[in-house]
């Protein structure tokens, strides 16, 4: 594999310490041989927060020792782990509450939404960016992850935030969505970058004017958060995800780079999309004469990773029984093919 000065990253959700041997096997047998030098580990709240036992990370949450072990394991191999902790949005699925909102229901932006509510009534809850106590608790949670992983980069999530400036929140009702979104980003930046010296990463979809670029309300914003782009620091790395074919290509890496941001475009399991998206993003940085703004290439995975799936994936090539045209088969092909 050719050495490159940009990152080739892989993302997965990971919240079960019993799967650490599988994850290590994935790293040594698939990711490293294919040049992956960064792994975005979406741990979110599945961690044993020692100073905050009220945050229930689940029965198999990772411990600080697990994190140190994983961090050392990867660093020795020239790979870095980027912990991902969902900030602002994605605080649970549907009406259910994340461990943070379960412990602190007063942080909930939509407290009147029933716990059993479903899409389309609600996609995911958010925390209230104006609650006076939320940042103090979140900073302490971030600090435990930072102490355990000793990372250089930290990913704050921030994708698909729909519950913002809710009529249910007495602090935010009638507020400006872009300003509230920017406040949440800047509050996290103040701690992660200004206080702890790490480079912050976030998903970029809420910063895209969906109408202008012809995206839907998942891939871009249709509610007014996109104007937050002018209100946040330029040294945040934006992860611009696009998973499907588009006739007119992918204009947003250029748009973000032109605004001064480093961009890591992100694909999923479609090889043709990955090739085109990455090529366009690289060309955009070259056209702007700032090749360093092309931060790297991110391959995301959105399947559940249990023991069987890890083993199927790790042994994809040697097992003829596996369907190479399945989502996992195609994901493997992307990892192998993208340089
Ligand atoms: Zn609020």
Q: Are 189 and 233 in contact (CB under 8 A)?
A: yes
Distance 164 CA to ligand 1 centre (A): 7
Confidence check: pLDDT of 44 > 70: yes
Confidence check: pLDDT of 228 > 50: yes
122-173 pLDDT, tens digit per residue, is 999 999 999 999 999 999 999 999 999 999 999 999 999 999 999 999 999 9
Distance 115 CA to ligand 1 centre (A): 18
Phi then psi for 81, rounded to 5 degrees?
-100, 130
Distance 83 CA to ligand 1 centre (A): 26
Domain segments of the chain: what residues? 7-337
Cα 264 to Cα 102, 185, 286, 334, distances in angstroms: 33, 18, 14, 16
Distance 187 CA to ligand 1 centre (A): 14
Q: What's the topology of domain 7-337? A: TIM Barrel (3.20.20)
Separation of alpha carbons 52 and 162, rounded Å = 27
Q: What band does 1 get if pLDDT is binned at 50, 70 and 90? A: very low
Distance 50 CA to ligand 1 centre (A): 28
270-321 pLDDT, tens digit per residue, is 999 999 999 999 999 999 999 999 999 999 999 999 999 999 999 998 887 7
Distance 176 CA to ligand 1 centre (A): 11
Separation of alpha carbons 219 and 216, rounded Å = 6
Q: Cis ω on the peptide bond leading into residue 120 (within 30° of 0)?
A: yes
């Amino acid at each position: 594999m050719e050495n490159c000065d940009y990152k080739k990253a892989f993302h997965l959700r990971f919240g079960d310490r019993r799967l650490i041997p599988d994850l290590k096997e994935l790293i040594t047998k698939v990711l490293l041989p294919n040049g992956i030098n960064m792994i975005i580990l979406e741990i979110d709240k599945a961690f044993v927060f020692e100073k905050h036992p009220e945050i229930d990370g689940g029965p198999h949450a990772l411990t600080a020792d697990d994190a140190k072990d994983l961090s050392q394991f990867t660093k020795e191999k020239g790979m870095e782990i980027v912990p991902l902790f969902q900030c602002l949005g994605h605080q649970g699925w549907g009406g259910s509450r994340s461990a943070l909102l379960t412990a602190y229901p007063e942080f909930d932006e939509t407290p009147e939404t029933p716990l059993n509510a479903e899409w389309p009534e609600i996609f995911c809850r958010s925390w209230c960016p104006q609650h006076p106590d939320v940042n103090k608790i979140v900073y302490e949670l971030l600090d435990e992850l930072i102490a355990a992983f000793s990372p250089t980069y930290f990913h704050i999530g921030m994708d698909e935030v729909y519950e913002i400036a809710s009529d249910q929140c007495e602090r935010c009702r009638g507020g400006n969505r872009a300003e509230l979104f920017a406040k949440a980003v800047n509050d996290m930046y103040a701690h992660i970058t200004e206080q702890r010296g790490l480079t912050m990463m976030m998903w970029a979809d809420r910063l895209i004017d969906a109408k202008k670029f012809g995206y839907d309300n998942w891939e871009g914003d249709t509610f007014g958060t996109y104007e937050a782009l002018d209100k946040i620091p330029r040294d945040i790395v934006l992860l611009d995800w696009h998973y499907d074919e588009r006739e007119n290509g992918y204009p947003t890496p250029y748009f973000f780079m032109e605004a001064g941001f480093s961009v890591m475009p992100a694909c999923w399991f479609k090889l043709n999309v990955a090739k085109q998206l990455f090529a366009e993003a690289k060309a955009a940085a070259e056209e702007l004469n700032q090749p360093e703004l092309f931060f790297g290439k991110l391959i995301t995975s959105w399947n559940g990773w249990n023991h069987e799936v890890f083993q199927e994936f790790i042994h994809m090539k040697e097992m003829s029984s596996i369907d190479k045209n399945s989502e996992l088969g195609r994901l493997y092909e992307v990892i192998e093919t993208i340089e």
